[in-house]
Structure 1
Amino acid sequence: MPVAVRIANAAPAASVTARGETTPVGTPNADAADDPAIWRNAADPAQSLIVGTDKKAGLYVYGLDGKTRDFLDAGRVNNVDLKEGVTIDGTAGILVAASDRNDIARAKVALFRLDPATAKLTALGKVDGGSGEAYGICLGRDEAGLSAFIVLKDGTVNQVLVDASGATPSGRIVRTMKLGTQSEGCAVDDRTHILYVAEEDVGLWRFDARATGPTSPTKIAAADGRHLVMDAEGVAIAPIGEKDGYVVVSSQGDNAYVLYRLSDDSYVGRFRIVAGVIGGAEETDGIELMLGDFGPGYPGGIFIAQDGHNAAAAQNFKLVAWDDIVKALGLQ
């Protein structure tokens, strides 16, 4: 079993264990599973769904029991995000967006509808994401509408205003932002309209996420080998109250996850997912986090991490209760 990498100067990390895991992706012996997204079933939280990428093959839908509910052959889709309450072909629904790199010279935003009753995905079409290889993606809303922020492999971030209300979705690039080197993970805080992006060997940045906002980045944290160990990969947000909460980053270089406070960008702490009844998680790419009731197994929220070393099986995703992270780090 892989052992967590110990970096000499890295700060201590608390330990948590997973309460669940997904069925491994279908691509064996490869770096395949990558990024999860969460849909919370407000009427029956235990029936919530997870969408995850096999970046060699397509998109999976899982239940909270980890069992596969659907698979859609979408080719090389790398990261994924979703929003509910989006008008899709005239009716409100759950829109799933994935960074499509089937053509590495021209990024696309691949769009899908998720049916919560059947857990099935339906492909809606693709919109242009700009010149370059698609890598990360996250969704955000502001007064201009729904935006897909597509992070290209070279650190370019294109904001694509997406309209799925008609029979065929459309999109247009309304802004371009830039980081200096390879970047991937991102997340948007719709309360404050801040976009968080991880530049893998440099650190965590934030941008104004509004379509009319400035495009210059502000560095939150450096990949200094102490709190954040490169590669900095997945990014997720735990919003608390009107403006506070945490942004979480995968510190892939030492198999840890780092929390920073949203209100002032301050460092909060680190944790690892270690082996228990279920195996731990190592070399994590994508992560996702959502607070709220997800049933008896995850009453305060759920954190999901891609596991780059799932013992002898293909890669999968590990499910951790937010309450366990709160307890391990002594969060208020």
Structure 2
Amino acid sequence: MSPRLLLAAPLAAVLAVSVPLTASARPSHEPRPPAVVTTGVETPVLYDDEAGGNASGDDPAIWVDPDDSRDSIVIATAKEGGLRVYDLDGVELQALTAEPAPRADGADGRYNNVDIAYGLDLGDGLVDVAVVSDRYNDQLRFFAIDGAGAAASVPLREVTAPELPFLFSADRAEVDDEQTAYGVAVWQPAGEAPVAVVTREGTTTIATVSLTTGDGRVGYSDTATLDFPASFPLPDGTTWTPCDEPGVLPQLEGLSVDQRTGVLYAGQEDVGLWRLQLPIGSGEPRLIDRVRDFGIHDVYDPESEECTPADPQAAGSGGSALTADAEGVDVYYGPGATGYVIVSSQGDDTYAVYRTQGRNDLVGTFRVAGVDGVDDVNGSDGLAVTNRAVGAYREGLLVTHDEPDTGAEVDDERDATNFSYVSWADVADALGLKVDTKPGNDPRFR
């Protein structure tokens, strides 16, 4: 039985679906050890406590300055700490607090994920806009990017339309239960309104909305939803449901859309990596790869609030590249029709790379080691990649979340996070990937 598609419908009951293993998910031999690339650039540490403004890094996006790539910027979410803007040296240019949403019942924000919509008409010319998911208001927030980028005195300013509807909740009381807007990605089909894809925390639901503009503001309309699977039949006749606390389903967060093809790549944290043709209703989700412990039955312990295997000797039916959680997802555009999907494997501090063509075969994995006083990248959540030459990164740039941030100047008694920069040339060399940095090769710049 195939996964069910639900258009503008409430969350379905737990789904039992059969998803065959793909070639990339079938480890036919012992996997190669991850390649090692390095980072020597990181952003300032963020601390998730009162003294640090409850700032916890999560997800980055890279804005490429089309006129002078040296002025490109990195925009990153810091949850209750708002947003941060960095230059290509990792220097903080702007810190935006998570102000209340522009609505009568607006609460202070919690910014979870970010992506970029290019070339929106706000009435006085085309503007690129950072699109941010706000968990505490169950909506999207929008920030216009100054065309001067890193050279601007104020790189971002909020342009969110007032009184936008909740994405998933019926009312403010349901918003306060916090099963709200989580991951986000932007799809810009040629000749059509841009679309934001948003996941819902603690559920398997995703939504798409069309972005709208007017009076210098950005909003959204035309919501459609889809529920991904929550349970899976196994070859032994049992049904496997990823373990979590009662009432919580295996959520999705990391998202990216291949702008060439309209294919959404989505990380379901405890399950694996999916692909889905957009718009919703065009096809069924297909599981590209599974986390290593897929199929291992766990038991939830309410005292420890942890899941442990019912049978410690049990073998799962997972893949070889992802260790839960499967987190950040983005697409690198190679020459011609080639490209790569990069996924952070949070459970073992590595990254998996898949082809965008064919059956999305696994190319390889890598980890990021720190040099020149920068620490190794651990427990990565969000990531972003560009194939464009930006500043000194002449073959593209990968930016990845790092948690916990460590080092001599980091207070290890506090919850410390930040973001690290990796030259894509190093990743491409390590895994034998194709590179094309020509502006016309990036479909986001039409």
Structure-2-length-normalised TM-score: 0.68
Q: What is aligned with 2:405?
A: 310
Query: After the TM superposition, which of the residue ranges 244-253 and 30-39 deviates more from structure 2?
Result: 30-39
Shift of 1:215: 5.3
Change (3 A) 1:133 1:144: same
One-letter amino acid of the counterpart of residue 45, structure 1:
S
Is 1:13 paired with 2:62? no
Quickly say closer, same or farther: Cα 1:31–1:230, change in 2 above 3 A: farther
TM-score normalised by L of structure 1? 0.90
Matched, 1:80 2:114: yes
Residue 166 in 1 paired to residue 166 in 2?
no
Residue of structure 1 in register with 2:273 after alignment = 204
Shift of 1:214: 2.2
Task: Give the stretch that moved more between structures: 65-74 or 184-193.
Answer: 65-74
Residues of 2 paired with 1:165 and 1:259: CA distance? 39
2:329 is aligned with 1:281: no
Structure 2: which amino acid aligns with 1:292? R
Determine helix, strand or coil for the equivalent of 1:331. Answer: coil
Q: 1:125 to 1:209 in 2, by over 3 A?
A: same
**Alpha carbons of structure 1 residues 288 and 67: separation in structure 2 relative to 1, 3 Å:** same
Q: Distance in 2 between matches of 1:140 and 1:54?
A: 23
Query: Gaps (5+ residues) in structure 1?
Result: 1-8
Could you say what secondary structure the match of 1:169 adopts?
strand
Aligned: 1:111 with 2:122:
no
Match 2:180 to one of 129, 133, 150:
133
| Larger radius of gyration between Structure 1 and Structure 2 | 2
Of 191-200 and 9-18, the range deviating more from structure 2: 9-18
How big is the shift at 1:165?
Answer: 3.9
Is the CA contact 1:46–1:64 (under 8 Å) kept in the aligned structure 2? yes
- Cα distance in 1 for residues equivalent to 2:433 and 2:355: 11
Between Structure 1 and Structure 2, how many residues are aligned? 319
Contact 2:117 2:188 in 1 (8 A): no
Secondary structure of the structure 2 residue equivalent to 1:326: helix
The equivalent of 2:363 in structure 1 is 268
Whether the aligned pair in 2 keeps the contact of 1:86 and 1:94 (CA below 8 Å) is yes
The alignment yields a C-alpha RMSD, in angstroms, of 1.9
Give deviations 1:194-253, integer Å, cap 9, x for gaps.
111000010000111236x42521111111252111100000100123432100101001
After superposition, what is the alpha-carbon deviation per residue over 1:65-95, rounded to whole angstroms, capped at 9, x for unaligned? 1111111112311000112212124421111
In 2, the alpha carbon distance for the partners of 1:71 and 1:238 equals 28
Q: 1:168 to 1:295 in 2, by over 3 A?
A: closer
Identity over the aligned pairs, expressed in percent? 33
Residue among 255, 275, 279 paired with 1:186: 255
* Alignment partner of 1:234 is 2:303: no
Distance 1:215 1:205 in 2: 12
Question: How far off its partner does 1:168 sit?
Answer: 3.5
Residue 98 of structure 1 pairs with residue 136 of structure 2: no
Deviations 1:163-196 (A, max 9, x none): 1243343311442122232110000111101111
Alpha-carbon distance between aligned partners in 2 of 1:162 and 1:135, rounded to the nearest angstrom: 17
